[in-house]
Amino acid sequence: MKTRALIERGKDGTYGVFTPDINHTIIGDGNTVEEAIADFENSVREMKLSYTENGQEIHDELKDLEFVYEYDIASMFDYYNWINVTQFSKKAGINPSLMRQYRIGKTYISDNQKSKIENTLHELGQELAAIKL
């Protein structure tokens, strides 16, 4: 089963990963995104192992889990800090000042704005993938 695993940057600068769409609480944290994902995946393994070691059946929602990792906007720009937020906002058609507010995570972002950012990221990825040197 595919489910979302959200990556967020904490106020202390560390990263956390959690699953909002299943009933079981699974979390991971770390100083980097990679550490947080590794801790998260370890938590999943430990949870499943705990069930089997105690002779319990693993709950259906925990079987065959496949995670789709998603960033909140602030964490995405923090992790990919080489993206120039001002230039990116112009490409996405979003006010640069507003984009900087999204970047620091202090402003609500609508689904429409998230979609603009995601579409621009995908376009950028396609452009980069097409480069030949």
Query: Regarding beta strands 15-18 and 66-71, do their DSSP bridges make them parallel or antiparallel, or are they unpaired?
Result: unpaired
If we measure between CA atoms, which residue out of 96, 58, 54, 93 comes closest to residue 77?
Answer: 96
What pLDDT does residue 77 have?
Answer: 86
What pLDDT does residue 67 have?
Answer: 93
- Indicate the pTM of the whole model: 0.77
Domain annotation for the chain: domains and CATH numbers: 1-71 (3.30.160), 73-133 (1.10.260)
pLDDT string in tens for the chain (133-residue length):
889 999 998 888 899 999 999 888 899 999 999 999 999 999 999 999 998 898 898 888 888 889 999 988 888 888 888 899 999 999 999 999 999 998 887 788 999 999 999 999 999 999 999 998 8
If we measure between CA atoms, which residue out of 98, 102, 95 comes closest to residue 9?
Answer: 102
Q: Compute CA distances 109 → 2, 63, 73, 99, 117, whole Å.
A: 25, 33, 9, 9, 10
